[in-house]
Amino acid sequence: MGRAGTGGAARAAAVAGPPLLLLLLLTRSPPATAGDHRKSVVGLVSEHFSQAPQKLSSYSWYGSIRLFHFRVPPDTVLLRWLLHMSWDSGTPCTDVEITVHFRHGAPPVINPLGTSFPNNTIQQPSFQVRALLTSMLLDNTSVNVSHPAPGDWFVAAHLPPSSQKIEVQGFAPTCAYVFQPDMLVMRAMEVSILEPDVPLPQTLLSHPNYLKIFVPEYTQELLLELQGCVSSGSPGCPVRLTVGGATLPSNFQKVLTCTDPTLSCRLLLPSPPWGRWLQVTAESLAGPQVSVAFIAQAALTACRPWSMTFQRLLRNSPNQSHDTSVGQLSPGPAHQGLGRSSGVGGGTFCLLSFPVMREDIDTVSVRFQPMDGISVLVRSDAPSLLRLRLDTGMDSGGSLTITLRVNKTEVSGDTLVVACVNAASAFLSFNTSLNCTTAFFQGYPLSLRASSPVANLIIPYPETSSWYLSLQLLCPESPGVCEQAMVHVETVLYLVPCLNDCGPYGQCLLLRRYSYLYAGCSCKAGWRGWSCTDNSTAQTVAQQKVAALLLTLSNLMFLVPIMLSVQRAFLVEASVYFYTMFFSTFYHACDQPGEAVLCILSYDTLQYCDFLGSGVSTWVTILCMARLKTVLKHVLFLLGTLVIAMSLQLDRRGIWNMMGPCLFAFMIMAFMWVQRCRHRHQCYPTSWQRWAFCLLPGISMASMGVAIYTSMMTSDNYYYTHSIWHILLAGSAAFLLPPREEQTEPWACSQKFPCHYQICKNNQDELYTVT
């Protein structure tokens, strides 16, 4: 049976398997020289695959994970993942727990936040390991899987869910956690092919023997049998067979242990995977010096399908009497039996096959429809089968949705339509079991009756394979009623990127890992979950409107600095404040996650203008306080605006886009104030009233705004804290604006309000301050 385990910093996580085989496979033999028989006995080669490292992110939605896509080659007997975790460029980091998920066939379906899934959604668990990355423990972690299934394998890694705090980029040092997986495989070069009904002698020594058998389509049963088992040094038949490949998280490998040499050792597999090679590993349970000989034999029981479209073509062909190739065909199976016996016997068909048309609509978007229409004929004597081809390698990144409908009048009484959805092979044993379990896959059951004529099933990230929908009519209480009954079941079969396009409170986004595309839902307005259907933390419509009003109407505080600027003849500053107020208002009206949304321009344009206005308004306010000459001030206004616009284009959310120009403007202001203090031999501004009632309140409001913006904003309080930031920013500008630069009437130098000191001229045309 398959084995999965971890080493290094992670705890051991394993699916039961033979430890002797694992130790033998992990011990790499030295290169064999000429005449060395170990190469022919072991027959294993190793291969190494790697992908570029990626920086991990805290989990908030599926797009936060880092996905790695590998392809395991056929005949692989051991798979080892080496997980490298480190910090980037020596930045001091705190200890963190990294979670790594594994899955075969499709990306892992994970739910670290514990949110709810939509109704009728299959919640497939993922195999995961957790590794603690600390400064004291920098070991790599390894995960071993013996007898892995070939094909696509996916590894997803992420940090723990993040706090709701909104981090300002560049304000505080950030820590980058880097993750890189390596895949090492050991492949068997000497694999014996086990043909149906052909005995294959085998001899076991200290190393296992590897076999494989091809399972054709429409195989109903596979019988593996060991005969004539002889051991040279121990009683009984110490042989163990491991059939199938290990998958994560589920594992349906079959293990057959033979002990009695007189009895034949058999393993019967119903509905084995169709159209693929099946791995078989034989290993000796005796000592290393003991040889075991046996004969392996396989028998296939074929399922004879009745093709409904083939029979319809026979009946509707206008040239049927003139076409000798068709005229000689009597109504019969579209496919002949496979293997030695039909198993059903007497020309009886085991299923009704309905060919399905696959229509590719868009990226990760496919529609399946039966060739004869949307309805499928369901009977009681044999299952009706539809095949959904999801084997292109690009179909596993969406969600498979299956909807079945039936007319209530056709399923009256105790009539029941049962259905199973399986991957790799179809479920055909409705008369004996309804658990939808095939040889190596646990299917998903559905049922239709008069009380519930509609059934739905959603499979997120279906594994790469051919999927089969099997339906049959049953009458549990009165079987005789169903003998001649027929029911038409309407089928709606889709592969969509996101279920219902993530609803009204989510956005379906296509994510890419090199050439592999997969989809995920980014939720808003407090909605969460796989398809943004979890409303446990959702905002009501009233809360959304209140949030929109707070963020937009708080910008009206800029009317105060606008009016003061106009009154004091600072027309350039007034236009900047108006620009900031206008675009901040409509940016936040467009930025709302819910229904209260108004966008007059594109979102990206409004965001850029809002950030530009915030930076330029701070820039012009500080330069205005510096009391520069008019020409020089306007030149700096223009140059600073151009520099801020350029920096925002490079990195819109960088804190230094605003802090850099503002610090430079503050240095200019401080230099000018120091020069005035030296020239006048007194502190500038000279009025204590202006310091007490204007400068200190303005500086305090600006400091509080910066503190709130950089350290207090979270996703939950964003609507309130950011509105306070708007008020404090506009209020500080109103307090810090100086009065008019020049006054010609001498009586205007007398002021009633301490904030409005004047700069007057004396007889020598020198500037001085009066209060």
Q: Are 280 and 224 in contact (CB under 8 A)?
A: yes
Q: Which amino acid is at 750?
A: S
Q: How far is CA 273 from CA 218, 341, 599, in A?
A: 9, 19, 53
d(CA 645, CA 14): 56
- Residue 314 scores a pLDDT above 60: no
Q: Tell me: do 289 and 239 sit in the same domain.
A: yes
pLDDT band at residue 586 using 50, 70 and 90 as cut-offs? very high
Q: What is the pLDDT of residue 749?
A: 41
Pairing of the two strands 365-370 and 758-761:
unpaired
Task: Please identify, among 162, 188, 214, the residue that sits at the C-terminal boundary of a domain.
Answer: 188
**What CATH number does residue 548 fall under?**
1.20.1070
For residue 712, what are its two tokens?
């207090």
Phi, psi of 506 (to 5 degrees): -150, 165
Is residue 206 a part of any domain in this protein?
A: yes
Task: Please identify, among 170, 188, 206, the residue that sits at the C-terminal boundary of a domain.
Answer: 188
Q: What is the pLDDT of residue 298?
A: 93
Is residue 312 a part of any domain in this protein?
A: no
Question: Residue 345, exposed/middle/buried by CB under 10 A (0-12, 13-18, 19+)?
Answer: exposed
Q: Which amino acid is at 221?
A: E
For residue 398, what are its two tokens?
């969406």
Hey, which residues does 493 pair with through a beta bridge? 368, 402
Q: Are 466 and 275 in contact (CB under 8 A)?
A: yes
| Dihedral (CA of 273, 274, 275, 277) sign | positive
Q: How many domains does the chain have?
A: 4
Q: Tell me: do 479 and 600 sit in the same domain.
A: no
In DSSP notation, 6-31 reads EETTSPP------HHHHHHHHSPPPP
In DSSP notation, 94-106 reads --EEEEEEEEESS
Minimum mean pLDDT among 42-51, 132-141, 294-303, 351-360: which range? Answer: 132-141
Minimum mean pLDDT among 188-192, 330-334, 422-426: which range? Answer: 330-334
Q: What is the pLDDT of residue 63?
A: 92
- Residue 466 is part of which domain span? 351-496
d(CA 582, CA 468): 58
- Residue 507 scores a pLDDT above 60: yes
Minimum mean pLDDT among 615-619, 702-706, 741-745: which range? Answer: 741-745
Q: Tell me: do 109 and 236 sit in the same domain.
A: no
Hey, which residues does 246 pair with through a beta bridge? 148
Q: Are 270 and 328 in contact (CB under 8 A)?
A: no
Describe the strand order of the beta sheet including 239-243 as a list of residue ranges: 191-193, 209-215, 276-284, 239-243, 254-258
d(CA 512, CA 567): 55
Q: Tell me: do 638 and 688 sit in the same domain.
A: yes
d(CA 466, CA 456): 19
**What CATH number does residue 362 fall under?**
2.60.120.380
The length of the chain is 771
Q: Tell me: do 551 and 467 sit in the same domain.
A: no
Is residue 716 a part of any domain in this protein?
A: yes
Q: How far is CA 357 from CA 385, 426, 464, in A?
A: 13, 18, 18
Is residue 72 a part of any domain in this protein?
A: yes
Q: Which amino acid is at 48?
A: H
DSSP-based three-state secondary structure for 709: helix
- Residue 261 scores a pLDDT above 90: no
Q: Are 300 and 198 in contact (CB under 8 A)?
A: no
Largest CA distance in the chain: 128
**Looking up tokens 């600073």, which residue turns up?**
640
- Residue 584 scores a pLDDT above 90: yes
Q: How far is CA 96 from CA 87, 128, 172, 177, in A?
A: 11, 16, 18, 9
Q: How far is CA 548 from CA 358, 404, 538, in A?
A: 45, 42, 15
Q: Are 242 and 255 in contact (CB under 8 A)?
A: yes
- Residue 462 scores a pLDDT above 90: yes
Phi-psi label, residue 501: left if phi above 0, alpha if psi -120 to 50, beta otherwise: left
Hey, which residues does 265 pair with through a beta bridge? 226
Q: Tell me: do 696 and 618 sit in the same domain.
A: yes
Give me the chain's average pLDDT, please. 81
Burial 115-125 (b: 16+ CB within 10 A, else e): bbbbeebbebe
Minimum mean pLDDT among 25-39, 81-95, 594-608: which range? Answer: 25-39
Q: Tell me: do 182 and 196 sit in the same domain.
A: no
Q: What is the pLDDT of residue 109?
A: 93
Is residue 523 a part of any domain in this protein?
A: no
Is residue 378 a part of any domain in this protein?
A: yes
| Residue 695: DSSP 8-state | I
Q: Give Cα 287 distance to the centre of its chain.
A: 47
Share of the chain above pLDDT 70, in %: 82
Minimum mean pLDDT among 341-350, 460-469, 720-729: which range? Answer: 341-350
Q: What is the pLDDT of residue 249?
A: 78
Q: Tell me: do 182 and 197 sit in the same domain.
A: no
Q: Tell me: do 175 and 226 sit in the same domain.
A: no
Task: Please identify, among 461, 477, 496, the residue that sits at the C-terminal boundary of a domain.
Answer: 496
Residue whose C-alpha is closest to residue 105's, from 400, 436, 353, 508: 400
pLDDT digits (tens, 9 = 90+) for 113-169: 989 899 999 888 788 898 888 766 666 788 999 999 999 999 999 999 877 777 766
- Residue 18 scores a pLDDT above 50: no
Q: Tell me: do 211 and 173 sit in the same domain.
A: no
State pTM to two decimals: 0.80
d(CA 304, CA 333): 6
- Residue 26 scores a pLDDT above 60: no
Segment 186-202 mean pLDDT: 92
- Rounded to a whole number of angstroms, the distance between the first and last alpha carbons of the chain is 92
659 vs 406 pLDDT, higher one: 406
Is residue 526 a part of any domain in this protein?
A: no
397 vs 9 pLDDT, higher one: 397
Q: Tell me: do 491 and 562 sit in the same domain.
A: no
d(CA 335, CA 353): 10
Is residue 115 a part of any domain in this protein?
A: yes
d(CA 511, CA 681): 65
Q: Tell me: do 456 and 476 sit in the same domain.
A: yes
